[in-house]
Structure 1
Amino acid sequence: MFGKVAADVLGLSDIGSVIKPENYDKVDADDYVMHEDGEKIFFLIKSKSDEYCFTNKALVHLDGTSAMSKKRVLRRFDYYRSNIQDILLETAGTVDMDVELKFTLGNAQYSIDVHKKHLEEVKDLYKALLKLAEIKRDNQLALEDAKASIGVAASSVGTIRNTEADIVEQFKAINQFTFDWNQQAKQKYRVKDFGFVFEKYINN
């Protein structure tokens, strides 16, 4: 586990540090990543009290009061369920020791302080979050347009007059087609794995 010794070795303080991939197995958040389902850590910020673990599928946030405390609050935000917006990066001034990454994920607002020596790495994460938000926004609009189209098509078919027997068979066919179509649209536009975004922008 990530106790005081590990924190000291990695030079952690109340200001977050970006953890290198070779040290991911030393952080508590790694225990909650669903490796069994292909989940992978792409970016990890660690301070003495918090861990912010960005995977291809979710943000895993371990919230603690101090490095010495064993009590943690675990929060998980799957990207496909949570809108990402208000993404902002504040760079450090002359006397500042940290940069600040801000964003809203679902109903949670985050403001993460990271040591300014990690600015280049945080820039990569900033770009990845921007791209992720753009894809989610575009896919949501496409899904809404697709649902509207199938609604118009279904209404048009409903105006065709046939025998009662034909209507029953048509209803079954339309119902099955609509169900299958909706499932395909969700698979296409509700992306659950954003590994391709992190692979493109994260250079750690």
Structure 2
Amino acid sequence: MGHIGKRIAKSREGIDRVKLYPVAEAVKLVKERATAKFDETIEIAMNLGVDPKHADQMVRGVVNLPNGTGRTVRVAVFARGAKADEAKAAGADVVGAEELVTTVQGGTIDFDRCIATPDMMPLVGRLGKVLGPRGLMPNPKVGTVTMDITAAVKASKGGAVEFRVEKAGIIQGSVGKVSFEEGKLLENIAAFVDAVAKAKPQGAKGTYIQRVAISSTMGPGVKVDPGTVMS
């Protein structure tokens, strides 16, 4: 086992690594142990009873956190003409068509979320190998391929968080910042878990939400009793 630093060891004090904490208590423990010199992000990790290798057990979606993520999100929009103008008016940071494709192909990706109008997808499809691994590929299932550019941009800026199950059946996402009031974090966590619960695939068998844990960027994970979130 590798050496555990003093800061990490101290942050783990008072946390039972086996116990499932009520979500309100877990949030308090995480906030108390977030001692970095920056405003740490609160992350949630959920172990699901699915095998994403099977198409009917894939879990993917988007959730609009009621209190936002607490971070500035740069949004890129692939659109032409009036829709490009609409994107700029809505507050998109990067807007373009062929020239934006060329920029991204050249390795410049200065955005956190990507939206496209349906007519742009044949063009954007060329960027699958670049945007896909980064989780940035526009997808109609999560509302990022749409004609309602204004709503999509505002949702992205206001707290929309995409989630997608990983190979081991784990979903991870940000649910706010350490500086958020506990009540706002609890609302965001509840919204995230509820969205994942509603995205339960038909092929899921047995217990769907198996484990939930939260942590801050630099802090230890705290296991959460799923029942206290679902209620």
| TM-score, scaled relative to structure 2 | 0.21
| TM-score, scaled relative to structure 1 | 0.23
Q: Please identify which structure carries the higher helix content.
A: 1
Which structure's relative contact order is higher, taking Cα pairs within 8 Å and 6+ residues apart?
2
Q: Which has the larger radius of gyration?
A: 1
